[in-house]
Copies of this chain bind each other. A is one copy, B any other.
Amino acid sequence: MLQSTLFGKTLREPPRDDQSTNAQLLQQAGYVDKLMAGVYSYLPLGYRVLKNIEHIIREELTEIGGQELLLPALHPKENWMVTGRWDGPDPLYKLEDESGHAYALGSTHEEIITPLVKRDVHSYRDLPLALYQFQTKFRAELRAKSGMLRGREFIMKDLYSFHRDEADLARYYDVVKEAYVKIFKRCGIGEETVLTFASGGSFAKYSHEFQTLTAAGEDTIYLCPTCRIAINDEIIAEQPNCPQCKADRGKLIEQKAIEVGNIFSLKTKYSAPFGLTFKDESGTEMPVLMGCYGIGLGRVMGTVVEVHHDDRGIAWPKAIAPYDVHVVRLGDSPSVVAAADTLYADLRKKNVSPLYDDRDLSAGIKLKDADLIGLPLRVVVSEKTMSAGKIEVKRRIEEESNLVDGLEALVAQYL
């Protein structure tokens, strides 16, 4: 992509009306634009990051048998009355049409997927089943803050699983747990993300969250330094020991963290009100047991920025970076332009995705923008590097640049 034509300019200053680091950097670097509090547009760079995260999640969920579908955002009130959630606890956006029918904008989809599955699942042969979607959700948050971490409109991956008994639900629950570990690792926050025991609501002793350790977090967790397992402060009173090694509360470290994923054992919480049952081998009607598993994609993006940035800007992990390498042309002499154009074309031939800063701007502005945008690798083409017969390459996370002999060496050593 030629940066001269890329939509989404970098801003000289971070926006003043967003205090969180992720929202400031993502806006300043041209990834997102704020339409209103808690509602952001994804600009081309941000949309590429979003799609990369989506791609990773889709691969891992396909691997564990998830089938992708897409449910509506507009829900009839009747479905939410069945579960009693029309009036909370989650704040729903509600609307009425001219004929007086009332709707909610979906903040989650148990009220839609449960009756849908009821249409098709009748026998033990139809189970287990795992269905997921990437979908825009809405939450009527009056005070949306924290940038991409808590929006009023946001994109979620929500997976729902359906089982014949608790053993099978528990089995799949662990399968998803493992898939989540892989997802967060591939997104570049594996080291900072810890499995956290949280409240299970009325149907299970615990649920599990994936919490990413960062001072920007809204949640407080207590981390066992030995096991890297944590306890959410909402249950620390009832569960004051590490669930694994039983270390007591004094050994646990209080940390701020962002919940990037959660997994719930719903059991019959939604299948019961919707009458979702199946016939077992003996013909007996049994309740279907459910699990649900969420990941907020914008939240993952914001969390990665909170974890991977410095004073100069973002430092994307390779797997979700919008482009692999930033080719920065310094100077506009015909020979420099020709060399940079060639490098850009050659990288594309090698299936590397480059962002090419072909703009006629000062070296200072271009290098500053490269740091702000934060691609994993920066390659500078200038009179200086050309006279040395070299390409200058620098990783975003390192301070020092290096000279390599040419394209082949660049690809072999860095890509």
Chain A contact residues, CB within 8 Å of chain B: 4-9, 33, 35-36, 39-44, 46-47, 50, 65, 67-76, 91, 93-95, 97-99, 103, 105, 112, 116-117, 119-120, 125, 129, 131, 136, 138, 140, 142, 152-153
Q: Please, which residues of chain B bring their CB within 8 A of the CB of A46? A: 69
A315 to chain B, nearest CB (A): 23
A123 to chain B, nearest CB (A): 11
Q: Please, which residues of chain B bring their CB within 8 A of the CB of A41? A: 69-72, 112, 116
Measured CB to CB, the nearest residue on chain B to A71 is B41
A334 to chain B, nearest CB (A): 20
Which residue, of A70, A125, A138, has the highest number of chain B Cβ atoms within 10 A? A70
A39 to B106 alpha-carbon distance, docked (Å): 13
A377 to B304 alpha-carbon distance, docked (Å): 45
A75 to B152 alpha-carbon distance, docked (Å): 11
Given the interface pairs A120-B8, A136-B136, the reply to whether A36 lies near B76 with Cβ below 8 Å is yes
6 pairs, CB–CB < 8 Å, chain A vs chain B: A7-B67, A7-B131, A41-B71, A47-B68, A74-B152, A97-B140
Q: Are B6 and A67 in contact (CB under 8 A)?
A: yes
A138 to chain B, nearest CB (A): 7
A260 to B92 alpha-carbon distance, docked (Å): 34
Q: Are A35 and B112 in contact (CB under 8 A)?
A: yes
Measured CB to CB, the nearest residue on chain B to A74 is B153
A35 to chain B, nearest CB (A): 5
Q: Please, which residues of chain B bring their CB within 8 A of the CB of A105? A: 74, 95, 105
Measured CB to CB, the nearest residue on chain B to A101 is B36
A302 to chain B, nearest CB (A): 15
Given the interface pairs A41-B72, A44-B68, the reply to whether A95 lies near B93 with Cβ below 8 Å is yes
Given the interface pairs A116-B33, A120-B8, the reply to whether A73 lies near B136 with Cβ below 8 Å is yes
Q: Are A98 and B140 in contact (CB under 8 A)?
A: yes
Q: Please, which residues of chain B bring their CB within 8 A of the CB of A68? A: 44, 47
A382 to chain B, nearest CB (A): 23
Measured CB to CB, the nearest residue on chain B to A33 is B116
A5 to B119 alpha-carbon distance, docked (Å): 15
Rank and list the top 7 A-B pairs by shortest CB-CB distance, nearest first. Answer: A95-B95, A42-B70, A44-B67, A39-B72, A41-B71, A74-B153, A9-B120
Q: Are B7 and A129 in contact (CB under 8 A)?
A: yes
A333 to chain B, nearest CB (A): 20
Which residue, of A44, A72, A74, has the highest number of chain B Cβ atoms within 10 A? A72
Task: List 16 extra interface pairs beyond A41-B70, A41-B112, CB under 8 A.
Answer: A7-B67, A7-B69, A7-B129, A35-B71, A36-B76, A39-B72, A39-B74, A41-B71, A43-B69, A44-B67, A44-B131, A47-B69, A73-B138, A74-B138, A93-B103, A94-B95
Q: Are A35 and B76 in contact (CB under 8 A)?
A: yes
Measured CB to CB, the nearest residue on chain B to A68 is B47
A119 to B30 alpha-carbon distance, docked (Å): 11
A407 to chain B, nearest CB (A): 25
A406 to B152 alpha-carbon distance, docked (Å): 56
- Which of these, B35, B69, B98, contacts A42 with CB under 8 Å? B69
Measured CB to CB, the nearest residue on chain B to A121 is B7
A71 to B39 alpha-carbon distance, docked (Å): 9
A382 to B393 alpha-carbon distance, docked (Å): 61
Q: Are B69 and A119 in contact (CB under 8 A)?
A: no
